[in-house]
Amino acid sequence: MDDVVLSEKMKREADRLLALIVRADSMILAVKAGARADGFVLGLEAAGALKSGDAERLYIIFEAALVDRLKTLAGK
């Protein structure tokens, strides 16, 4: 997430949301955390708080974390 330009407060929230995805102990919780992360990015994008391309990078980061977590949980 280092290549995404975020204020300190936004970075803390993005890190928190990413951690929720990574630590989810069920598929439902992982998907809910992923949806929250998407909403967070959508809100920042709608408010004009992200530079061009940063929203897409955040979506990709959150999506990759969600896919990895769901694969891990499916293997349990």
Give 27-46 pLDDT, tens digit per residue: 999 999 999 999 999 999 99
48-69 in b/e form (b: 16+ CB < 10 A) is eebeeebbebbeebbeebbeeb
Q: Please state the domain count of the chain.
A: 1
Q: How far is CA 9 from CA 5, 12, 16, 72, in A?
A: 12, 5, 11, 30
Q: Tell me, what's the pLDDT at 46?
A: 94
62 vs 3, which has greater pLDDT? 62
The model carries a pTM of 0.93
Report if residue 62 sits inside a domain: yes
Report if residue 3 sits inside a domain: no
> What is the domain range of residue 31?
8-74
Q: What does the chain come to in residues?
A: 76
Q: Tell me, what's the pLDDT at 50?
A: 92
Q: Tell me, what's the pLDDT at 69?
A: 98
